[in-house]
Structure 1
Amino acid sequence: MAAEAALGEVRDGMLVGLGTGSTVAFLIAALARDRPRIECVATSIASAAAARAGGLIVRDFADVARVDLTIDGADEIDARLFAIKGAGGAMLREKVVAAASDRMVVIADGSKRVGAIGRAKVPVEVLPFARAFVAGRLTALGAAVAVREGVTDNGNFIVDARFAAMPDPRALAMAIDAIPGALGHGLFLDEVDAAYVADGGVVTRLGR
């Protein structure tokens, strides 16, 4: 329902960024069904493959400087439109595409809406060379850390950082950004412009 509602944001002629994850799969299926006259960029190899399989035109983001609209999921989102993303491991590419986008819209089910973000783990994409160093710095920031199995589409590791509390997400984001070897993280604090949240058969639109 959230994915279907977000289709109203898509206009012919747009370049649309496709996020990653189970909720975005519904969006890609809906776009493939309706076939608006758009082109897409994808935040993961999996999303690009799904979009192409559905007949959508997918451009290489490496050749793109600006995107009209990005639609993506979230692990948590609150009324401030602060979000935690990255359960699917694509948050670094997702953040780059979001930064290039005129608008970013989140689609989610009601379980992802929270009073204030902070319960979900914060994924951090890490240069393999710096894995132990970054994990140590995240521990010093108060996190319980775990290194995920496998690597990202970029060939890097993900360290999941779970914080007992997150009273100041902006300060935490700045602290993680300052760690050499930490390439990106799942705190999306300024990127999201609107969210469609489906809960109990009703879709609520949140906006800035």
Structure 2
Amino acid sequence: MANAEELKRAAAEAALDFVEDKMALGIGTGTTAEAFVRALAQRVRGGLKVTGVATSERTERLCQELSIPMATLETLPRLDLTVDGADEIDPGLRLLKGGGGALLREKIVAKASKRMIVVADAAKLVDELGAFPLPIEINGFGMVATYLAIQEATEALGLSGDLTLRRRGEEPFITDSGHLILDADFGRIPDPQALSRALHEVPGVVEHGLFLGLASDALVASSDGVRHLTV
């Protein structure tokens, strides 16, 4: 039985089959995305020519350490492919992401891409999103008012559960874009589209971790091998 790290590596390496020479490539954040970065770096050393756009400062640093050519969305605003991980994947390839706190940049990069491939181990497959807490990135100004508005909007959808301000040690966690994150423990989200709309109507919400209609493919590794799922 392969362990979790081996499965992540297998899914990440399978994504290299979709990377072509001279691609503009969105590069995700998280442990599976990091496995992809390391595998990609080997191909780059072997002569593959790509230019990457990172979804986080952490990914940017790793790519630079491994000598993967990098750019920004300002200089490369249209991407051929993004490869990223996910915290949950449902049968329609709707995703719950943002456990690492990079959801805003991840979503911007994914939307700028012609294609998004998700790499994950089979434990990330779920029948319904929501067992993993949903990250909601919010502006620091009016945090309590935003908290209450989110609570009211989600209760109107029949959702309940704790909204917890994410912390790093004793201090609030600050995203790369300077925002805060509320982790919403709903348990299950029967209508992700309705929740997405409701959250976007709250002025203090910058973005949320529901990635709907963005992923076209998922490469999911288990002890039986890597499955390619599409919508």
Q: Which of the five TM-score ranges fits, normalised by the shorter chain?
A: over 0.9
Q: Tell me which of 34, 42, 50 is aligned to 2:54.
A: 42
Shift of 1:63: 2.6
Amino acid paired to 1:44: S
Q: Tell me which of 160, 166, 180 is aligned to 1:148.
A: 166
Equivalences for residues 93-104 of structure 1 within 5 A: 93-104=105-116
Query: Separation in 2 of the partners of 1:38 and 1:17?
Result: 10
Shift of 1:120: 1.2
Q: How large is the Cα RMSD of the aligned pairs?
A: 1.0
Query: What CA deviation, in whole Å up to 9, does each residue of 1:15-52 have, x standing for no partner?
Result: 00000001111000001111121000000000011011
Structure 2 partner of 1:64: 76
Q: Displaced runs of 4+ in structure 1, greater than 4 A?
A: none
Which runs of 5 or more residues in structure 2 are unaligned? 1-9, 155-159, 168-172
Secondary structure at the aligned position of 2:60 is classed as helix
Amino acid paired to 1:23: T
TM-score calculated relative to the size of structure 2: 0.87
Structure 2 partner of 1:124: 136
Query: What CA deviation, in whole Å up to 9, does each residue of 1:60-115 have, x standing for no partner?
Result: 22333211000000000011001100000000000001110000000001110111
Shift of 1:164: 3.5
Q: Tell me which of 6, 9, 26 is aligned to 2:18.
A: 9
TM-score calculated relative to the size of structure 1: 0.97
Query: Separation in 1 of the partners of 2:96 and 2:104?
Result: 12
State the structure with more CA Rg. Answer: 2
Contact kept, 8 Å, 2:128 with 2:188, in 1: the verdict is no
Amino acid paired to 2:87: D
Amino acid paired to 2:186: F
Secondary structure at the aligned position of 1:92 is classed as helix
Query: Separation in 2 of the partners of 1:32 and 1:67?
Result: 19
Which runs of 5 or more residues in structure 1 are unaligned? none
Aligned residues: 208
Equivalences for residues 14-93 of structure 1 within 5 A: 14-35=23-44, 36-93=48-105
Query: Separation in 2 of the partners of 1:134 and 1:18?
Result: 31
Shift of 1:116: 1.8
Amino acid paired to 1:30: A
Query: Separation in 1 of the partners of 2:150 and 2:224?
Result: 39
